[in-house]
């Protein structure tokens, strides 16, 4: 099919279109998936879902470019490669399979036309044939890739073609092949290395694309070269989705979602200005703090969200931007898969008028030519200072210096350019927050009212245009790329002018907010304490002083640190009411039965905290048990006659259960109650264990039938002299009466 496609600034080019992804994916979508749908899912599940349900894209610019690149490259490879000339597509492959009579011939299959059927027929042509061939197999899935560096997605697509081919032939190929680049290089792909992962992806596609509910909308890097980008971005902006913040990773979004934060506006409410760290005047000369004089600059997503919500530029601290020479804005375009720079753009002012220069290389052999021309132009400027938006241009200067031999004067000049260069992204990262979803040049430039002549302007889209121009799709694409490159230089100059105004002391003409002027909320966790009576405020301040004394000031003041240490040591040296020494030793080893044992650890101790009930009340009763550890001479097993059942005695455990069950106190209140009354450190976890232990202990009593006679205690005489047996109370109930009597209630 032949159609006119619009590329760049309204230029029309004649492009040969093959079957588009949307058309191929809708073929039997309920029971099969195509290679186009598989490739789309690897890039974005939402895109694959939209293609599967047949929703048309707002435009077909990138689909047309990709289709034209693929068709032109396949035609070129088939003319020059004998293997590619024999490649069969999926619809024709089934017909060709019926006429195969020689198993020694290798047949190649185009993976781009593969269709995987979820419900394949029981009998297919050639499905019962056996393969007695070399490891490469008779049927080889082949992928023709126009790019010079195949990736993981290409290997997965080859494996997908092998699985689709096995449904036709009944044989899963051992290896596949990728022919890529201008040199028509070959790469073998082992199907077994990717088969498991490919099947998992196929199952995920079946669940995602054939479901009535679409997958979660998450914007990613593929959006820059996707025709569904206006549709998805419009929905994300309407929902105020967190994926609009491109600097936020998926893990960070998941943490925010776990906290109930799903929108940018919700994220903005979590921003709190950081405390200013007061550094010592001699911090730079200090040996201990000299390494921490320069604070680490971090990008705050919450402050970015706040800038977007208020639609104001937020400035942190006092950023500075000054030019020591003639600002020369440099923008470079390259092909990362071949490490080739093909376009250099310069913009500077001379005599108050802007001067623009572009240097274009048709091929790799012309890269040295445009580099020399660019170097001469930079020298002619005089005191040139390179200004770029990002570190890509600085790496370009370093690679050109290392790649090509230069004169000593040129080497020194390039070193000066690198040393004096300014990266605008580094000037605004973590310091100046524009009300844009990212710090990309396109978003910041559009916020400053700069527009690109190419509506789909992006670095990823420029790669497709360059590759299409190299394959001869359209000669007018060169003009579009040069215009796009120069627009980047103009946008960088626009951003630099805005940064200079923001960093200056005068009025910037922009709606900017100094973060230091924002009202800083109370730095404590629960905010400032507001009391109805002034006495309560004094009590709260005193409590905060105690916290500072034990937690904060102990790190700085030696006297306070010593006092806190002594108080902690007194707390550790617990006094006990009784000392018990266990001198018995085991008669033999319980593990191997050996009789020869020796004492290897003497005077180990264990404190058991309990309560003692008297006629006057309740008091703490702590007993320290001393015992020895023994070791077997044969099996080296360690043992002791003393059994450490629990750190808390039975009365204390019953009292804790009484507080939990009868008084219905919380675990935190029980621990505070026991600590304040008896000076016993009882963690909340120990209180929970005590409750569980008592529940297990009295579980048989709970299941005892009520008609059984309760156990009775000793026989006593009443006032009339008659003998009566007192009912025996168990557990908490016995403690209940004891506590009531001790308190004078019963």
Indicate if the pLDDT at residue 590 is higher than 90: no
CB distance 717 to 683 below 8 Å:
no
What's the CA gap between 347 and 510, in Å, rounded?
A: 24
Least confident of 415-424, 426-435, 560-569, 726-735: 726-735
Three-class SS of residue 178? strand
Query: pLDDT tens digit string along 56-106?
Result: 999 888 999 999 999 999 888 888 877 655 665 655 555 555 555 545 467
pLDDT at 741: 42
Three-class SS of residue 88? strand
Q: How far is CA 276 from the centre of its chain?
A: 28
405-434 burial, b if ≥16 CB within 10 A, otherwise e? Answer: ebeeebeebbeebeeebbbbeebbbbbbbb
pLDDT at 720: 58
Query: pLDDT tens digit string along 474-515?
Result: 888 999 999 999 999 999 999 999 999 888 766 677 888 888
pLDDT at 569: 57
Place of tokens 């588009």: 20
Query: pLDDT tens digit string along 144-176?
Result: 999 999 999 999 999 999 999 888 888 888 899
pLDDT at 746: 39
Tokens standing for 334? Answer: 């390259």
**All domains of the chain, ordered by start, with CATH?**
2-213 (no CATH), 326-515 (3.30.420), 534-560 (no CATH), 578-644 (no CATH), 651-742 (no CATH)
Indicate if the pLDDT at residue 523 is higher than 60: no
pLDDT at 444: 93
Assessment of whether the complete model's pTM goes beyond 0.95: no
Share of the chain above pLDDT 90, in %: 37
**Averaged pLDDT, 648-667:** 89
123 class by beta-carbon count within 10 Å (0-12 exposed, 13-18 middle, 19+ buried): exposed
pLDDT at 121: 52
Residues 6 or more apart from 584 whose CB is under 8 A from it? 641
Tokens standing for 600? Answer: 């290897």
Query: pLDDT tens digit string along 177-236?
Result: 999 998 889 999 999 999 999 999 999 998 887 777 889 999 999 999 999 999 999 999
Q: 10 Å Cβ neighbour count for 483?
A: 18
Going by pLDDT thresholds of 50, 70 and 90, the confidence category of residue 22 is very low
Helix orientation angle between 731-742 and 650-657, rounded to the nearest 10 degrees: 90
Three-class SS of residue 333? strand
CB distance 157 to 144 below 8 Å:
no
pLDDT at 419: 92
pLDDT at 511: 85
Q: Is 449 left (phi over 0), alpha (psi -120 to 50) or beta?
A: left
CB distance 610 to 652 below 8 Å:
yes
Indicate if the pLDDT at residue 124 is higher than 50: no
């Amino acid at each position: 099919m032949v159609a006119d496609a619009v590329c760049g600034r309204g230029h029309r080019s004649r492009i040969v279109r093959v079957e588009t992804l949307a058309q191929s994916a809708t073929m039997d979508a309920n029971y099969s998936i195509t290679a186009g749908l598989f490739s789309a899912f690897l890039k974005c599940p939402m895109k694959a879902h939209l293609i599967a349900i047949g929703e048309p894209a707002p435009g077909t610019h990138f689909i047309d470019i990709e289709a034209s690149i693929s068709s032109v490259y396949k035609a070129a490879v088939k003319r020059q490669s004998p293997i590619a000339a024999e490649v069969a597509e999926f619809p024709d492959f089934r017909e060709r399979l019926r006429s195969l009579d020689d198993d020694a011939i290798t047949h190649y299959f185009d993976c781009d036309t593969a269709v995987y059927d979820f419900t394949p027929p029981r009998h297919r042509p050639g499905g019962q044939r056996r393969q007695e061939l070399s490891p490469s197999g008779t049927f080889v899935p082949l992928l023709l890739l126009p790019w010079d560096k195949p990736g993981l997605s290409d290997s997965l697509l080859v494996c997908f073609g092998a699985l689709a081919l096995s449904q036709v032939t009944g044989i899963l190929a051992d290896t596949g092949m990728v022919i890529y680049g201008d040199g028509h290089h070959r790469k073998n792909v082992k199907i077994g290395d990717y088969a498991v992962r490919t099947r998992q992806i196929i199952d995920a596609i079946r669940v995602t694309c054939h479901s009535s509910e679409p997958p979660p909308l998450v914007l990613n890097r593929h959006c820059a070269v996707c025709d569904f980008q206006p549709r998805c971005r419009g929905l994300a902006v309407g929902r105020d989705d967190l994926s609009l913040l491109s600097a936020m990773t998926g893990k960070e979004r998941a943490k925010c979602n776990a906290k109930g934060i799903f929108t940018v506006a919700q994220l903005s409410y979590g921003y709190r200005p950081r405390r200013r760290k007061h550094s010592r005047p001699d911090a730079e000369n200090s040996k201990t703090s000299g390494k921490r004089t320069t604070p680490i600059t971090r990008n705050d997503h919450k402050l970015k969200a706040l800038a977007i919500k208020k639609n104001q530029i937020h400035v942190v601290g006092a950023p500075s931007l000054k030019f020591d020479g003639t600002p020369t804005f440099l923008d470079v375009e390259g092909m990362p898969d071949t490490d080739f720079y093909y376009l250099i753009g310069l913009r500077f002012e001379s005599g108050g008028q802007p001067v623009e220069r572009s240097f274009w290389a048709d091929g790799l052999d012309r890269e040295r030519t445009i580099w020399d021309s660019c170097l001469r132009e930079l020298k002619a400027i005089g005191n040139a200072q390179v200004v770029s938006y990002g570190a890509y241009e600085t790496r370009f200067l370093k690679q050109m210096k290392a790649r090509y031999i230069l004169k000593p004067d040129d080497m020194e000049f390039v070193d000066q350019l690198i040393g004096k260069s300014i990266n605008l992204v580094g000037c605004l990262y973590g310091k100046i927050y524009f009300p844009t979803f990212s710090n990309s040049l396109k978003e910041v430039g559009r916020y400053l009212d700069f527009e690109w002549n190419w509506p789909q302007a992006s670095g990823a889209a420029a790669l497709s245009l360059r590759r299409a121009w190299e394959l001869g799709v359209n000669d007018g694409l060169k003009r579009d790329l040069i215009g796009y490159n120069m627009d980047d230089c103009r946008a960088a100059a626009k951003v630099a002018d805005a940064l200079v105004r923001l960093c200056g002391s005068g009025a910037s003409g922009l709606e900017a907010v100094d973060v230091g002027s924002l009202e800083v909320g109370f730095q404590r966790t629960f905010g400032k304490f507001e009391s109805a009576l002034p006495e309560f405020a004094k009590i709260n301040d005193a409590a905060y002083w105690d916290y500072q004394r034990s937690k904060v000031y102990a790190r700085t003041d030696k006297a306070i640190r010593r006092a806190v240490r002594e108080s902690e040591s007194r707390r550790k040296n617990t006094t006990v009411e009784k000392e018990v020494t266990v001198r018995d030793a085991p008669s033999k080893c319980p593990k191997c039965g050996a009789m020869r044992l020796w004492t290897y650890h003497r005077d180990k101790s264990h404190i058991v905290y309990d309560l003692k009930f008297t006629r006057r009340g309740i008091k703490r009763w702590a007993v320290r048990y001393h015992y020895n550890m023994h070791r077997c001479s044969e099996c080296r097993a360690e043992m002791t006659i003393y059994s450490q059942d629990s750190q808390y005695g039975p009365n204390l455990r019953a009292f804790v259960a009484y507080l939990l069950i009868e008084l219905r106190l919380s675990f935190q209140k029980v621990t505070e109650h026991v600590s304040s009354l008896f000076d016993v450190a009882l963690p909340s976890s120990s209180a929970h264990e005590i409750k569980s232990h008592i529940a297990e202990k009295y579980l048989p009593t709970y299941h005892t039938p009520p008609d059984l006679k309760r156990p009775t205690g000793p026989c006593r005489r009443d006032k009339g002299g008659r003998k009566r047996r007192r009912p025996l109370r168990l557990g908490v109930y016995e403690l209940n009466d004891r506590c009531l009597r001790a308190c004078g209630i019963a």
